């Protein structure tokens, strides 16, 4: 559970970093003032983090409601058809190589406690872990924070200055952070660090190059 949360946080940081550094460079290429870049960067941070949080909340809420519905159906079935449910559980155990008599004894023992029976049937029949139901609000807050952390990194130079120096600093911070995110992802996925870091940095460079080119073209058109 904690490992999954950590992975989600890393990917949230990655999304915030790549999207906002690309936005910042795109606006920097088109705008003449640092304040425009700063406004765009802050707006991108808030909009992206809010969108991520809302999406995570809705997704987890819907998932929880689906799981709760399945558990309620299973709870009613256990109460109304205990023999059939006992036989079904015993059949599952038998399919895994357990002797028929032992499987029947195990299923009967499980059915003796309604809460244990519900948990076991949920795992064995539905593939659902009742204890894995998460908190949508907590997930939304975590997503907001993770995205905001990634998004604020390339924005830091624009809080302190502007111009070419801020642009170069944003690029440097963005690529360094992308490399660190790639290394962390490689650790979680047990993939090649060099390949994962290279892929992460390449995507960041591609996004920045695309928005810089579009920003430059729009800036030239406007002026």
Is the CB of residue 13 less than 8 Å from the CB of residue 20? Answer: no
Most confidently modeled of 122-136, 158-172, 182-196? 158-172
Q: Please, which pLDDT band fits residue 4 given cuts at 50, 70 and 90? A: low
Q: How far apart are CA 111 and CA 129, in angstroms?
A: 17
Radius of gyration of the chain (CA): 26
> Quick check: 8 pLDDT over 80?
no
| pTM given for the model | 0.75
How high is the pLDDT of residue 73?
85
Structure tokens that stand for 220 in this block = 């030239």
From 47-51, 142-146, 217-221, the region with the lowest mean pLDDT: 217-221
How high is the pLDDT of residue 1?
43
User: Tens digit of pLDDT for each residue in 17-76?
Assistant: 999 999 999 999 887 788 899 999 999 999 999 998 898 889 888 888 888 888 888 888
From 20-34, 118-132, 177-191, 203-217, the region with the lowest mean pLDDT: 118-132
Q: Please, which pLDDT band fits residue 221 given cuts at 50, 70 and 90? A: low
Write down the mean pLDDT value for the chain: 86
Please, is 67 exposed, middle or buried when counting C-beta atoms within 10 Å of its C-beta (0-12, 13-18, 19+)? Answer: middle
pLDDT > 90 in the chain, percent:
32
The mean pLDDT of 144-164, rounded to a whole number, is 92
The mean pLDDT of 141-154, rounded to a whole number, is 92
Q: How far apart are CA 121 and CA 70, in angstroms?
A: 11
């Amino acid at each position: 559970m904690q490992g999954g949360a950590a992975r989600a946080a890393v990917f949230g940081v990655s999304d915030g970093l790549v999207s906002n550094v690309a936005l910042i460079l795109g606006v920097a290429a088109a705008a003449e003032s640092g304040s425009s870049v700063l406004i765009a960067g802050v707006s991108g941070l808030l909009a992206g983090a809010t969108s991520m949080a809302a999406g995570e909340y809705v997704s987890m809420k819907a998932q929880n409601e689906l799981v709760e519905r399945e558990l309620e159906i299973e709870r009613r079935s256990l109460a109304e058809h205990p023999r059939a449910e006992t036989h079904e559980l015993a059949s599952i155990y038998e399919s895994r190589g357990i002797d028929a008599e032992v499987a029947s004894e195990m299923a009967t023992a499980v059915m003796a406690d309604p809460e244990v029976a519900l948990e076991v049937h949920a795992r064995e029949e539905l593939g659902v872990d009742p204890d894995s139901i998460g908190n949508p609000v907590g997930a939304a807050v975590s997503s907001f924070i993770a995205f905001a952390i990634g998004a604020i990194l390339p924005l830091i130079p624009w809080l302190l200055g502007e111009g070419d120096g801020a642009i170069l600093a944003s690029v440097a911070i963005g690529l360094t952070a992308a490399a660190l995110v790639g290394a962390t992802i490689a650790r979680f996925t047990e993939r090649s660090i060099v390949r994962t870091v290279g892929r992460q940095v390449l995507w960041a460079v591609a996004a920045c190059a695309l928005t810089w080119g579009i920003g430059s073209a729009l800036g030239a058109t406007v002026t």
